Structure 1
Amino acid sequence: MKILVVEDQPALRILIGGHLSERGFAVDEVSRADDAMAATAVSSYDAIILDLGLLDVGGLELFARLAGKAPQKTPVLVVGARDGVEDRGRALAVGADDYIVTPIDAIELEERLRVLLRRPRH
């Protein structure tokens, strides 16, 4: 399974990418919205892990851009520091498949990702 990790905090990006790589996933890691757009232009991903707090573009704006160009529904697991119900609800309302609040547990993130990957795509 090929996963795109879009996270601007190096420590968190390395934690997520490293854990998933060790567990057998093929992982591409980027830290900026334009790099995420470029990556999705040349590669197809089974899922995207997206930080809501990107420095260059808001995560929800990037999500809308990615959703607009995806030929099929690629599952998106949002990672965010905002733990309010409104913040989580907003991400889910625009189409995110799941939301996990930082600090994260890598094993929980992996299991949530596996749940998303088991779901049929429409």
Structure 2
Amino acid sequence: MSDRSTRKIVLLVEDNRQLSEAEGAFLESAGYDVDYAMDGMEGYRLATENHYDVIVLDVGLPRIDGLEFCRRLRTEARKATPVLMLTARDTLDDKVAGLEAGADDYLTKPFAVQELRARIEALVRRVRREVGGGEQLEVGGLVLDLLSHTVKREGRTLNVSPIGMQLLSILMRASPAVVSRQDIEREIWGGNLPDSDTLRSHLYNLRKVVDKPFDHPLIHTVMSFGFRIADARSEVSAT
């Protein structure tokens, strides 16, 4: 029996038994331990009771679907476990809905199992980089603690997704400088670059959490260059 304390563990939530067995067998052959759930409620129970490095989550599930699963995981259980969402739908609205629910990445069916593995490994590497940071970043009353995976603004705790954490880390380390879209995508996704809507969707969701509840924005788009995070009020007062 494998030592689960040292191996990467994936929760696979998929109601198609044939697909689930094929994906699980491939991941196990690649060195992962895999737990299985055939419906959203059972998957949610396992996700909240155990530690997983990544959750691979189908959208079309019985009992509760993948979107509701993800929303509950983020808002009720307050779990930051990376979620790779699987969907047969390929429209922009469907992708945005998944990211808004709290997913970190997605794959459109059908896909190659090699790409599934690559996406999982990218999520694992990303989280381990964040945990290894062990430091606190602060810009304009926004505080990101990379050790505890918490974000606060003006003392209020914010519910930020794992990719949102990575975006904040990149922008806050560079602040007040501008970071290009290309540099952000390379830092987060490495060689597995997403389509052009993915970064935009994550930034949109991040702004809703970090900026919308407050009286001034910290995340700024610099046209034709990229993005930055800064308190523009303090920059004006300093000039």
Map 1:9-88 onto structure 2 (within 5 A).
Answer: 9-67=16-74, 68-71=76-79, 73-88=80-95
Which whole-Å CA distance do the structure 1 matches of 2:95 and 2:108 have between them? 9
Q: Following TM superposition, by how much is the alpha carbon of 1:95 offset from its aligned partner in structure 2, in angstroms?
A: 1.8
2:103 to 96, 103, 106: 96
The verdict on how the C-alpha distance between 1:8 and 1:58 changes in structure 2, with shifts beyond 3 A counting, is: same
What is the Cα deviation at residue 88 of structure 1? Answer: 0.8
Deviation readout 1:47-105 (Å, 9 max, x if unpaired): 1000000022121001112223144x110000011111110111112221101001121
Kindly report structure 1 stretches of 4+ aligned residues shifted beyond 3 Å: none
Moved more, 10-19 or 37-46: 37-46
Q: 1:65 to 1:15 in 2, by over 3 A?
A: same
Q: Percent identity?
A: 36
Distance 2:101 2:42 in 1: 22
- Structure 2: gaps (5+ residues): 1-7, 132-148, 150-239
* Greater C-alpha radius of gyration: 2
Per-residue deviation, 1:11 = 1.4
Note the C-alpha offset of 1:41: 3.7
- Is the Cα–Cα contact under 8 Å of residues 68 and 101 in structure 2 kept in the other structure? no
Pairwise CA RMSD: 1.4
Structure 1 unaligned regions, length at least 5: none
Structure of higher RCO (CA pairs closer than 8 Å, 6+ residues apart)? 1
Give matches, 1:101-120, under 5 Å: 101-119=108-126, 120=130
Task: Give the structure-1-normalised TM-score.
Answer: 0.92
Q: Distance in 2 between matches of 1:93 and 1:109?
A: 21
Aligned to 1:4: 11
Is contact 2:13-2:39 (8 Å) kept?
yes
- Which residue type is aligned with residue 69 of structure 1? A
